[in-house]
Amino acid sequence: MTYRYADPNHTAIIREDGTSIPVAPGNRDYDALVASGASVFAYTMTANQQKEAIKAETNRRILAAYPDWKQRNMIALGVSLTRIKAEGGSWTAGQQAEAVALDAAWAWIQAMRSHSDDLEAAVDAGTLAADWKTTGWPE
């Protein structure tokens, strides 16, 4: 019989047959497992869990730089700037600078998404680096 931790906090153990054993002294199944001396394998994420963790980290980083309220303001500004051009107008120097800032923000978000896609491809290839959360992210 093989056993593995069900989560990174080691709150439960999954038996080979799928049965969950709470890590709780006094629990009959847990006490029997400990008394048996059986090894419990480390928790490992499934590929889908890894991909969800990558998406969550990407989202966290994007929202840290551009919270929802700021993204909505950027969209509104982009619409306003587009309308000026569509109506044959010209941008002021300030509006030109705003357009450049919007382009830079969008390029960074696209780079973040591209990096996230690369990390997810690494999950599929079985080559995801252990330090993926701390290295390789766009600045």
- In tens, the pLDDT along 21-56 reads 999 999 999 999 999 999 998 888 889 999 999 999
pTM over 0.75: no
| Cβ atoms 81, 99 nearer than 8 A | yes
- In tens, the pLDDT along 70-115 reads 999 999 999 999 999 999 999 999 999 999 999 999 999 999 999 9
| Cβ atoms 137, 116 nearer than 8 A | no
Domain boundaries, the chain: 3-41, 47-125
pLDDT of 120 higher than 90:
yes
Q: How many Å from the N-terminal Cα to the C-terminal Cα in the chain?
A: 47
